[in-house]
Structure 1
Amino acid sequence: MSVDSLNAVCPYYTMYPLDFPLRVLKEHGKRGDWVIDPFCGRGTTNFAARLLSMPSVGIDSSPVAAALAQAKLASAEPGRVVATARSILKAAKVTTSVPKGEFWKLAYHEKTLLQLCQLREALLTECSSQTRILLRAIILGALHGPRPKGKPSYFSNQSPRTFAPKPNYAVKFWSERDMHPDDVDVVGIIKARSERYLAEPPPNVEGKVQLGDSREADTFSNVPKARFVVTSPPYYGMRTYLPDQWLRLWFLGGPDYVEYRQPEGQLEHTGADHFSSEMGRVWKNVATHSTKGARLIIRYGGIHDREAEPMDVLKASLVDSGWRMVTAKAVPDSDSGRRQVRQFQSEPKKAITEYDVYCHRA
Structure 2
Amino acid sequence: MFPEEYVARQLLAFTRPGDLVLDPFCGRGTTILESTLHSRRAIGTDVNLVAACVSGAKAEVPALDEVLARIDHLETHFVAGGLSVPDGEFFEYCFHSETLGELLFLRAELRWREDPIDRFVAAVALGALHGEAHRSPNYFSNRMPRTISTKPEYSVRWWKERNLAPDRRRVFPILRALSRARLSILAPSGLAKVALEDARNCAEVFSEHEGEVRLMVTSPPYLDTTDYSEDQWLRIWFLGGPERPKRKMSLDDRHTNKENYWDFLSEVWAGTERLLGSEATIAIRIGGKKLDVDEISNGLSMSLKKGLSRGFHLLDAPNTSEIKNGQLNSFRPGALGKRHEHDFVFRLH
Scaled by the length of structure 1, the TM-score of the pair is 0.87
Match for residue 132 of structure 2 among 105, 128, 146: 146
1:335 aligns with 2:334: no
In structure 2, do the counterparts of structure 1 residues 308 and 29 end up closer, same or farther at CA, with 3 Å as the change threshold? closer
Kept after mapping to 1: 8 A contact 2:29/2:58: yes
Give 1:318 deviation, angstroms.
1.9
Q: Distance in 2 between matches of 1:268 and 1:280?
A: 16
Give 1:133 deviation, angstroms.
1.6
1:278 matched residue in structure 2: 264
Q: Distance in 2 between matches of 1:268 and 1:349?
A: 17
Q: Secondary structure at the match of 2:314?
A: strand
2:153 matched residue in structure 1: 168
1:111 matched residue in structure 2: 98
Q: Distance in 2 between matches of 1:193 and 1:351?
A: 37
2:34 matched residue in structure 1: 48
2:5 matched residue in structure 1: 19
Q: Secondary structure at the match of 2:248?
A: coil
Q: Which amino acid aligns with 1:284?
A: A
Kept after mapping to 1: 8 A contact 2:228/2:254: no
Please say which of residues 160-169 and 75-84 is displaced more in the overlay. Answer: 75-84
1:206 aligns with 2:194: no
Matches within 5 A, 1:71-220: 71-93=57-79, 94-124=81-111, 128-149=114-135, 152-216=137-201, 218-220=204-206
Kept after mapping to 2: 8 A contact 1:68/1:137: yes
Q: Distance in 1 between matches of 2:188 and 2:204?
A: 30
Match for residue 237 of structure 2 among 234, 239, 250: 250
In structure 2, do the counterparts of structure 1 residues 221 and 128 end up closer, same or farther at CA, with 3 Å as the change threshold? same
Q: Provide Cα deviations, 1:272-306, integer angstroms capped at 9, x if missing partner.
A: 12211220121123232111111000011112599
Kept after mapping to 2: 8 A contact 1:37/1:45: yes
Q: Which amino acid aligns with 1:206?
A: L
Please say which of residues 33-42 and 234-243 is displaced more in the overlay. Answer: 234-243
2:224 matched residue in structure 1: 237
Q: Provide Cα deviations, 1:203-227, integer angstroms capped at 9, x if missing partner.
A: 2111210011122453443444200
In structure 2, do the counterparts of structure 1 residues 342 and 89 end up closer, same or farther at CA, with 3 Å as the change threshold? same
Kept after mapping to 1: 8 A contact 2:57/2:116: yes
Q: Which amino acid aligns with 1:335?
A: I
Kept after mapping to 2: 8 A contact 1:146/1:154: yes
CA RMSD between the two structures: 2.3
1:356 aligns with 2:324: no
Kept after mapping to 1: 8 A contact 2:289/2:336: no
Kept after mapping to 2: 8 A contact 1:78/1:191: no
1:10 matched residue in structure 2: none
1:325 matched residue in structure 2: 314
Q: Provide Cα deviations, 1:246-290, integer angstroms capped at 9, x if missing partner.
A: 1111111101111113534x1663521221122012112323211
Scaled by the length of structure 2, the TM-score of the pair is 0.90
Q: Which has the higher helix share?
A: 2
Q: Distance in 2 between matches of 1:258 and 1:306?
A: 31
Unaligned runs of 5+ in 1: 1-14
Give 1:163 deviation, angstroms.
1.1
Kept after mapping to 2: 8 A contact 1:220/1:285: no
Q: Which amino acid aligns with 2:67?
A: V
Q: Distance in 2 between matches of 1:176 and 1:66?
A: 36
Q: Distance in 2 between matches of 1:238 and 1:153?
A: 30
In structure 2, do the counterparts of structure 1 residues 268 and 107 end up closer, same or farther at CA, with 3 Å as the change threshold? closer
Q: Which amino acid aligns with 2:24?
A: P
Unaligned runs of 5+ in 2: none
In structure 2, do the counterparts of structure 1 residues 43 and 117 end up closer, same or farther at CA, with 3 Å as the change threshold? same
Q: Distance in 1 between matches of 2:35 and 2:133?
A: 34
Q: Which amino acid aligns with 2:9?
A: R
In structure 2, do the counterparts of structure 1 residues 306 and 88 end up closer, same or farther at CA, with 3 Å as the change threshold? farther
Q: Which amino acid aligns with 1:324?
A: H
1:295 matched residue in structure 2: 281
1:5 matched residue in structure 2: none
Please say which of residues 85-94 and 166-175 is displaced more in the overlay. Answer: 85-94
Give 1:193 deviation, angstroms.
1.0
Q: Distance in 2 between matches of 1:58 and 1:137?
A: 17
1:36 matched residue in structure 2: 22
Give 1:154 deviation, angstroms.
0.6
Q: Which amino acid aligns with 2:215?
A: F
Please say which of residues 140-149 and 83-92 is displaced more in the overlay. Answer: 83-92
Match for residue 215 of structure 2 among 203, 215, 228: 228
Kept after mapping to 1: 8 A contact 2:231/2:331: no
Please say which of residues 111-120 and 277-286 is displaced more in the overlay. Answer: 277-286
Kept after mapping to 2: 8 A contact 1:157/1:180: yes
